[in-house]
Structure 1
Amino acid sequence: MSEIEKGGISVQTEHIFPIIKKWLYSEKEIFLREIVSNSVDAITKLRRLSSLGEADFASENFRVDVTVDKDAKTLTVSDNGIGMTEDELKKYLCNIALSGAMDFISKYEGSEENGTGIIGHFGLGFYSAFMAADTVEVVTKSYTDSPAVHWTCAESGEYEISAGERETHGTDVIMHINTDNEEYLDYHRVLAVLQKYCSFMTEDIYLHGDEDEHSCGCDHDHDHDDECECGHDHEKEEKPINDKCPLWQKAPSECTEEEYKEFYSKVFPGKRDPLFHIHINADYPLNFKGILYFPRIDSEFESLEGEVKLYYNSVFVADNIKEVIPEYMLMLCGVLDCPDLPLNVSRSYLQNSSYVSKISAHISKKVADKLTSMANTEREAYEKIWGDIRTFIEYGCLKDRKFNEKVKDAVLFRDTDDKCVTLSEYLDEAKETHEKTVYYTTDKTAQAQYIAMFRAKGFRVCVLDTVIDSQYITMLERENDGLKFLRVDADISGALSDKDAEITDSEALKAAFVKASGDDKLEVKFAKLDDENVPAMLGASEESRRFEDMMRIYGIDPKTMPQKAALTVNTASPLIKSLEEKLSAGDEKADVIAKSIYRLATLSFRRLSGDEMKDFLSESYDILKMI
């Protein structure tokens, strides 16, 4: 072919309408959101024209009315917005994907769309009506006072245009609901859809239906605008189903704590009051607003998955949008209004959008700023909620270096006396006694003896009893030169002994405890401990214990590579001196005493196995018999 042939793709209406009915939106109920959004846009346009002096309707009582008529099998959405002339109706309704909203923005707003408040963009939303209706009627009258127009279209795409009957400007969209979708003729079903998608649209939305299902609770006949038999004045009691001024659209300085709690209860009914909130008002280039709440977790068995609702210019788009929230903050609840995201955003778009990544990073920064601010200015309140947020913050520090840098000074460590300190506060306090070393416990009950000995020396002992703590302190050691975290049973001969005392090892005692343990490779050390009432203590190196923790995390049985524990014998203990004398004298009681001391040391160090507990009880009974 020598010549270049040009042309345009043609679309046959009878083929495109079945596609629209089945595939335009993933959720069929969205059709009502689209029609109501068009009505809100029509009012927004007329408001804009009035502000520009192109029309005089600034004092108009604008509203959108949704009417359910079971008998007529119609669902009608009416507005008193800008309306359309016959030419405009032909242009925008008789041509698929030709957007009146985009034309309006181009003419009156220039190329900048931010802040217009107009929802629709692509000219497809109106046709979603055919997802639930087999016939759609439109009666419209332009604000220019042009004659009203009546347009009727069947699901085949065939339409008729005739003179309409409407006295005032605005539009009625009358959807004749087909038999497969009669659920949308139920007042409460329609109310649920409106509350889900339209609760925060910017114009008053009213729902009308069968009077026996009206919100007043009346079950008798009356005209809607008249006072009924039970005394209800329906015109006065009529309330919109939406809130035109959602809290996230306000400046944080204009909102009270009570309003934040009320908003949370409204959007997330049934949940307890949140721990704290973060009000986001990001300007260019991100251009999004929202309020995020840190929920209160009642127990470790409660679901940790939060819920973030995504809005587009106050129109609900989707909930549980994980892609917009950093991975380590998925427990957050709240709302985000992102007018720069597509109204019908897909999961794949969210996963691959650089804009979404920037939103996620901004949220992380705002959370970090909030935590730092609370730690610095509301320390007492911050300490009260620390137990609820601690694991998530530590996880965030592990996952995100930038987040860690911002919040590291706001991370708290709770000690055995239930007091909180930051890492820098702990290290400042420990400068004179154990510089750059943090002592901690993983179980206050099981390690009580060790803790008591550290507290007797005036050492603060932190409680690190969650799975993630081991990884978190390893990261801190890596990032802070010389810093060491030691569990209370990992430095017995170092922290709890008199380092200047002269110690003489006893081969007899060593042999007795090796025999008592049944482990020929048991390491036996001798030290003069500060507490002479403790005859011996078992301990393991910090490295071997953490390795064991890591094995558990990866599902490996630690018994396959058991950690080596060392026994520290207290040379200051009268009991040990007595045992040594009995060994020298060949007293047969010496072996029983050595076994009992070793079992007690084991009991303080870890939980006894079934066989060990049986042996311990038997040995204890033998000792009682000697008395």
Structure 2
Amino acid sequence: MEMEKGSVSIDAQNIMPVIKRWLYSDKDIFLREVVSNGCDAITKYRMTNPDDESEMSVMVTVDKENKTLTISDTGIGMTEDEVKRYINQVAFSGASEFMKKFEGDEKKGDIIGHFGLGFYSVFMVSENVEIETLSCQEGAEPVHWESKDGMDFAISEGHRTTHGTSIILHISDEEKEFLELYRVREVLTRYCGYMAYPIYLMDANAKPVEREEEIPGETNEDGTPKKRKVVDEPKPSLINDTKPLWLKKPSECEDKEYIDFYHKMFGWEDPLFWVHLNVDYPFNLKGILYFPKLRNDFGKYEGQVKLFAGQVFVADNVKEVIPEFLTLLKGVIDCPDLPLNVSRSFLQNDGTVKKLSAHITKKVADKLCGLFNTERETYQKYWDDIAPFVKFGAMRDQKFYEQVKKAILYKTTDGRYLTLEEYKTGNADKADKKVYYTNDPKRQAASVALYTNRGIDVVVMDHIIDGNFQSFMEYSGGEEGLTFARVDADVSGLLEDSEEGKELNRETIQAMFRKALGKDDLPVNLQSLSDAELPAMVTEDEQIRRMKEMSRLYGQSFDMPDRFTLVLNRRNKAIQELAARDPENETTQLLCQQIYDLARMSAQPLEADEITAFLKRSQKLVAMAVEKE
């Protein structure tokens, strides 16, 4: 058999139903596509007619009575031959062909379309589509094109008298929502709110409004102002801002402009600070990323980074371009160079996108490090709000961590902010490669005091993300031997070299507490703690406790019982006296139970029935003490 080569043929009758149903994930994108085409047509006209300074715009007209939606531009228009090439050939991009002609012209980057499929999205909502167009070429004749299904068409002489193109959509009954003015306004605002040319919306069924107005300087006989009737004709409303803030140079923007833009896009709470991206090489990238305040319910928080391509909205939080951790921020990214697929909903995973993502990450890291190095006091004021974002980013992106690790702060219980190096230096002789922390400064106040009284800094790590961050730092943070220990995880840093209570027998007192508590396997240790006033504390293995916390956090049924160790302070007078008492005595048992519960309360809340028992026992011990007096 001889080798044969050829081209695969596509049957329009088979492919058009697929395009109509699956071209885009959201039907309302058709409006973005045809308005984008209109803006492209205007750009082409500007490039071919640079001396024409008249206003160019796109008009969207809703005619509910006649069931039509018309998108009309004042752009370059099309000849009959161009209609046959650009409209009758599926996936033939007039934008791509035009850009080849203007290779080297910097304005060609303003052309939005690339794939030549956008126009056919109108058939998702239309039962019939008409085009009226007139090319700006000298001597051109107007052209009318019409199709009911995108497969069969008719071309005839048109009626348009000015250059440009009008697309008349006869909306199907199933999609009549696109004949509602509010719905069309909503879609235009979302997708076209920042396009480069004015986009107007007009209600064809709007009626003139008659009203009265005062005649300046004229009064009636009774002294009242004379009035006249005025008729206000319906006017189109402007949809978009053609020069959004992100296109300006950072040096030209004032803080108030950034804050006002944030309010317009995302609500009325002020952002902390922002990063203005403005890159022309090796790719065209502009945008503004804002740092909002992050709540402690971090898992439920969603930022919003809007992705634009040439001022055309594409999607929110597109992970191929915007690293996952950056979606905790709010802002806009505009990159005309992005390679979009036909739906413009997902981005192709190519080298340009990867470089773009890395560049955005670097710019954010540069901003953080710049603030830390030059305005540390200001940076520290922001830290509580941005810490979850920075820590999450460090865990998700190793390069980001390497860039910002020297700017990661740890807040101490006395309100100071230290870097890891500063913490290690300040506690080198007392906490070798160990960071002591509390996740509940009030509940764990007694344990915290044991460390701070010895001059050891305790940092507050009470955010939902901190457990994961501690594990990251221990295993992936590049700090060999570093460990994080909650203040009640062990007592190795709290021991005092003392002779007090050395005569106490651990086995005897352990048996006493086990009997009183009904816990035959309770580990009990006798230690010389630095604070002689503290009778006891409970400790729990750091890794086991973290495992349980992670299990609860992610809703897993990992039922691991509490495994506390009761540490009794041999220097404490109450423990010394208790050790000499009869373990069978009721008061002895009540005191053992009370000491144990007091120690546990510093580690975690008691259950409801345990609280009840604790209160009753407290009342009984008070009564016994009063009677003894």
Q: Report the TM range for the smaller structure's normalisation.
A: 0.7 to 0.9
The reply to whether residue 424 of structure 1 matches residue 417 of structure 2 is: no
Q: Hey, what does 2:64 align to over in structure 1?
A: 70
Q: Hey, what does 2:310 align to over in structure 1?
A: 313
Number of residue pairs matched?
A: 604
Q: Displacement, 1:121?
A: 2.4
Q: Is the 8 A contact 1:548 1:563 kept in 2?
A: no
Alpha carbons of structure 1 residues 209 and 506: separation in structure 2 relative to 1, 3 Å: same
Q: Displacement, 1:551?
A: 5.7
State TM-score, norm by structure 2: 0.83
1:281-337 residue CA offsets vs partner (Å, 9 max, x unmatched): 344444333222333345628841233322221112233424433233332332222
Q: Hey, what does 1:225 align to over in structure 2?
A: none
Using the alignment, how far apart are the partners of 2:142 and 2:364 within structure 1? 53
Which amino acid counterpart does residue 184 of structure 1 have in structure 2?
A: F
Q: Is the 8 A contact 2:597 2:614 kept in 1?
A: yes
1:550-583 residue CA offsets vs partner (Å, 9 max, x unmatched): 6656767776454241423232x33344445656
1:576-599 residue CA offsets vs partner (Å, 9 max, x unmatched): 444456569x99865554554444
Alpha carbons of structure 1 residues 233 and 455: separation in structure 2 relative to 1, 3 Å: farther
Alpha carbons of structure 1 residues 221 and 92: separation in structure 2 relative to 1, 3 Å: farther
The reply to whether residue 101 of structure 1 matches residue 100 of structure 2 is: no
Choose from 318, 322, 326 the match for 1:329.
326
Using the alignment, how far apart are the partners of 2:65 and 2:510 within structure 1? 96
User: What pairs up with 1:118-137 in 2 under 5 angstroms?
Assistant: 118-137=111-130
Using the alignment, how far apart are the partners of 1:430 and 1:189 within structure 2? 62
Using the alignment, how far apart are the partners of 1:221 and 1:12 within structure 2? 59
Alpha carbons of structure 1 residues 466 and 182: separation in structure 2 relative to 1, 3 Å: closer
Alpha carbons of structure 1 residues 73 and 473: separation in structure 2 relative to 1, 3 Å: closer
Which amino acid counterpart does residue 39 of structure 1 have in structure 2?
A: G
Which amino acid counterpart does residue 243 of structure 1 have in structure 2?
A: D
| Structure 2 SS opposite 1:120 | coil
Q: Is the 8 A contact 1:505 1:526 kept in 2?
A: no
Q: Is the 8 A contact 2:68 2:169 kept in 1?
A: yes
Choose from 69, 76, 81 the match for 2:75.
81
* Larger mean Cα displacement after TM superposition, 248-257 or 112-121: 112-121
| Structure 1 SS opposite 2:328 | coil
Q: Is the 8 A contact 1:540 1:566 kept in 2?
A: no
The reply to whether residue 600 of structure 1 matches residue 615 of structure 2 is: no
Which amino acid counterpart does residue 132 of structure 1 have in structure 2?
A: V
Q: Displacement, 1:131?
A: 3.5
Choose from 137, 145, 153 the match for 1:158.
153
Using the alignment, how far apart are the partners of 1:87 and 1:345 within structure 2? 25
Q: Is the 8 A contact 1:294 1:332 kept in 2?
A: yes
The reply to whether residue 139 of structure 1 matches residue 136 of structure 2 is: no
| Structure 2 SS opposite 1:330 | helix
Using the alignment, how far apart are the partners of 2:515 and 2:509 within structure 1? 10
Using the alignment, how far apart are the partners of 1:485 and 1:165 within structure 2? 75
Alpha carbons of structure 1 residues 513 and 263: separation in structure 2 relative to 1, 3 Å: same
| Structure 2 SS opposite 1:174 | strand
Q: Is the 8 A contact 2:287 2:333 kept in 1?
A: yes
Using the alignment, how far apart are the partners of 1:27 and 1:229 within structure 2? 46
Q: Is the 8 A contact 1:487 1:542 kept in 2?
A: yes
Q: Displacement, 1:172?
A: 2.9
Using the alignment, how far apart are the partners of 1:554 and 1:23 within structure 2? 36
The reply to whether residue 39 of structure 1 matches residue 38 of structure 2 is: yes
Using the alignment, how far apart are the partners of 2:89 and 2:604 within structure 1? 77
Which amino acid counterpart does residue 437 of structure 1 have in structure 2?
A: K
Choose from 163, 169, 182 the match for 1:175.
169
Q: Hey, what does 1:532 align to over in structure 2?
A: 532
Q: Hey, what does 1:197 align to over in structure 2?
A: 191
Using the alignment, how far apart are the partners of 1:543 and 1:92 within structure 2? 65
User: What pairs up with 1:360-375 in 2 under 5 angstroms?
Assistant: 360-375=357-372
1:319-359 residue CA offsets vs partner (Å, 9 max, x unmatched): 34244332333323322223233444559964744443433
Q: Is the 8 A contact 1:317 1:344 kept in 2?
A: no
Q: Displacement, 1:196?
A: 1.9
Alpha carbons of structure 1 residues 510 and 263: separation in structure 2 relative to 1, 3 Å: same
Using the alignment, how far apart are the partners of 2:246 and 2:464 within structure 1? 36
1:200-244 residue CA offsets vs partner (Å, 9 max, x unmatched): 11111222224647xxxx64499xxxxx95576877xx6531111
Q: Is the 8 A contact 1:139 1:148 kept in 2?
A: no
Q: Displacement, 1:605?
A: 4.1
Q: Displacement, 1:411?
A: 1.6
Using the alignment, how far apart are the partners of 1:615 and 1:75 within structure 2? 74
Among all aligned residue pairs of Structure 1 and Structure 2, give the percentage whose two residues are the same amino acid.
44
Q: Hey, what does 2:293 align to over in structure 1?
A: 296
Using the alignment, how far apart are the partners of 2:198 and 2:13 within structure 1? 36
Using the alignment, how far apart are the partners of 2:601 and 2:7 within structure 1? 85
* Larger mean Cα displacement after TM superposition, 86-95 or 405-414: 86-95
Q: Displacement, 1:72?
A: 4.0
* Larger mean Cα displacement after TM superposition, 11-20 or 462-471: 11-20
Choose from 253, 256, 262 the match for 2:254.
256
Using the alignment, how far apart are the partners of 1:410 and 1:368 within structure 2? 9
User: What pairs up with 1:8-19 in 2 under 5 angstroms?
Assistant: 17-19=16-18
| Structure 1 SS opposite 2:238 | coil
Q: Is the 8 A contact 1:211 1:220 kept in 2?
A: no
Which amino acid counterpart does residue 574 of structure 1 have in structure 2?
A: K
The reply to whether residue 385 of structure 1 matches residue 382 of structure 2 is: yes
Alpha carbons of structure 1 residues 183 and 344: separation in structure 2 relative to 1, 3 Å: farther
Alpha carbons of structure 1 residues 321 and 462: separation in structure 2 relative to 1, 3 Å: same
Q: Hey, what does 2:221 align to over in structure 1?
A: none
Alpha carbons of structure 1 residues 95 and 564: separation in structure 2 relative to 1, 3 Å: closer
Q: Is the 8 A contact 1:134 1:155 kept in 2?
A: yes
Q: Hey, what does 2:216 align to over in structure 1?
A: none
Q: Hey, what does 2:438 align to over in structure 1?
A: 441
Which amino acid counterpart does residue 79 of structure 1 have in structure 2?
A: D
Q: Hey, what does 1:570 align to over in structure 2?
A: 570
